[in-house]
Structures are given as C-alpha cells and as structure tokens.
Amino acid sequence: MKYTPRLPETNDNVSPSSPLKELAVLAGGLLAIIVGIYLVLGVAVDLIVPRLSPGLERRLAKPFLSTVTDIDDAADSTQESVQAILDRLQKECAELPFPLQVHVKSSETINALAFPGGHIIIFQGLLDEVTSENELAFVLAHEMGHYANRDHLRGIGRALVFITVSTLTLGPDSPVAKVLGSALNLTEMRFSRAQENRADTFGLEALQCLYGHVGGSTDFFNKIPADQDPGRFGHYFASHPENRRRIAHLEELARSKGYPSEATLPFPSTD
C-alpha cells in the first residue's frame, strides 16, 4: 500500500444548505399547520359544544373550581339571599337543564364569573355596589345567559386541544408550548362580543319576565365614573366604549320590544 498525501476535494459529510431558508420553510410550514388546526377546531367546537351533556360539563368543571376555592366565602345570609333570586329566575323565567349555584366570595373585586358546571361566583365588592334587586337580577341573568348558550365551553374546548397537541408533539418543557399556553389563558375565559351580546339579551328577557319591566338593567354599567381605572372593576364596569355599546344595545332592545321601565326594588343591605 502506498500513502499519497492528499486532502479530499469535497466534504461529503456536510450537506450544502441555507440554514435561514430551511428555518423559514420549516417554521412557516409549522405555523400554517397550527393556523389550520385552529380554524378547524373553531368549526368543530361550534358543532360539538351544543351537543355536550350537562353531566359531562359538570365533570369538566371540577379543575376550574379550585382556582377560586381559596378565597373565603361571604356570610351565609348573603349567600342565601342571592341564591334566592337565582332560584326564582331559574324557576319562573329560565329553565336551564341543570341547577345553578351561586358562591359569594368576600373579596373587594367588583366582578362576577360564570364557571362551567353551573357555578356562579360573585364577589362581595360587586354586591356592595348594588343598590337595587333588579340590578343584581340582571347580573345573575346575564351569567345564566352564558350557560344557556354554552359560551364558556367553546373557549375551553379550543385551548384544551391546542395544549394537548403541543404537549404531545413538542414535550411539556418546550418554550414554544409555554408561549402557546400563556396566549390561551384558560382561567381568564373572556367571551367574545357576540357572546356578551347574546347574554345581555337573555338577561333583559329574564328581567322582563321576572319583574314585568326592565328598570335597573343598565344601572350597573353606569355606576363607575369615567375617570376610574377600568381594569380594577372587571368586565362589568370599565366605563369603556365596550360598555357604552352594551348599554346602547340594551336600551335599543327594550325600546324595540316595548319593555317598560319602572321603579326598582331595593336590595337588602348586607352589613
């Protein structure tokens, strides 16, 4: 054997490639697939959600309740009086397939939340601002509207499938999955404008049914003056163009349906 000192002319161990082009193609392809899945999910969720049984909904609800159970409950008498209004609404005006339960939490937050499974959380801060029973009934009826339309399930459905898919393909520690998770914040559960509108309509109809008039339905939105920080008061109050639009929508609806507006009943004081 003879050794000829010579270097190879080409390096066949490294494929000629343009890394930036490869990144663009792969990342672009992945993004297109994710957007495609998102759109398909939107359609699928709209088809499946109306068919979900209330029993299944209650089972899905359990993990979400734990996020608020560490806040103390308010006094039993408060809880009972609010539950009484809710029960009257359910019995006389809005037959929902499962019973709703209200939990009053002693926190200063001025907000109310509808959780899956028929649990409504109302914060003491909101009750302190209420001056009439009609207002409170509207808030409760609005949340009931979200249940009647299965609104909360739509948001959860999409987020759950996304996080499942990303965990399966990328692994739980992937930074991409974390970005995805924070983008779809499950516990926030914001509703779309159309969903809020439908819930408002439901609330108005329920108010008309229970009291024979819709006085007090928009009182809530008008409570906080314009210069207050909107974020503090939750999705009810920000004197926010969104809420002005909702007030206008309610007033117009009452006008078109001919609902009268009369004096409101006072809400029993809670202190």
Binding positions for other proteins, rule: CB under 8 A? 1, 3, 5-7, 11, 13-15, 17, 19-20, 22-23, 26-27, 29-30, 169-171, 174-175, 178-179, 182
Q: Which pair of tokens denotes residue 233?
A: 């008061």
The number of angstroms, rounded, from the C-alpha of 245 to the middle of its chain's C-alpha atoms is: 19
Residue among 86, 113, 112 at smallest CA distance from 100: 86
State the helix-helix crossing angle for 151-170 and 19-48, rounded to 10 degrees.
150
Query: Of 113 and 177, which has the nearer Cβ to other proteins?
Result: 177
Smallest gap from residue 167 Cβ to other proteins (A): 13
Smallest gap from residue 186 Cβ to other proteins (A): 18
Query: Of 7 and 43, which has the nearer Cβ to other proteins?
Result: 7
Smallest gap from residue 134 Cβ to other proteins (A): 42
Smallest gap from residue 14 Cβ to other proteins (A): 5
Residue among 109, 94, 87 at smallest CA distance from 206: 94
Per-residue DSSP letter, 75: -
Residue among 23, 29, 37 at smallest CA distance from 163: 37
Query: Of 53 and 174, which has the nearer Cβ to other proteins?
Result: 174
Whole-angstrom Cα distance, residue 79 to residue 92?
20
Query: Of 15 and 66, which has the nearer Cβ to other proteins?
Result: 15
Query: Of 27 and 209, which has the nearer Cβ to other proteins?
Result: 27
Smallest gap from residue 201 Cβ to other proteins (A): 36
The number of angstroms, rounded, from the C-alpha of 120 to the middle of its chain's C-alpha atoms is: 12
Residue among 207, 213, 205 at smallest CA distance from 149: 205
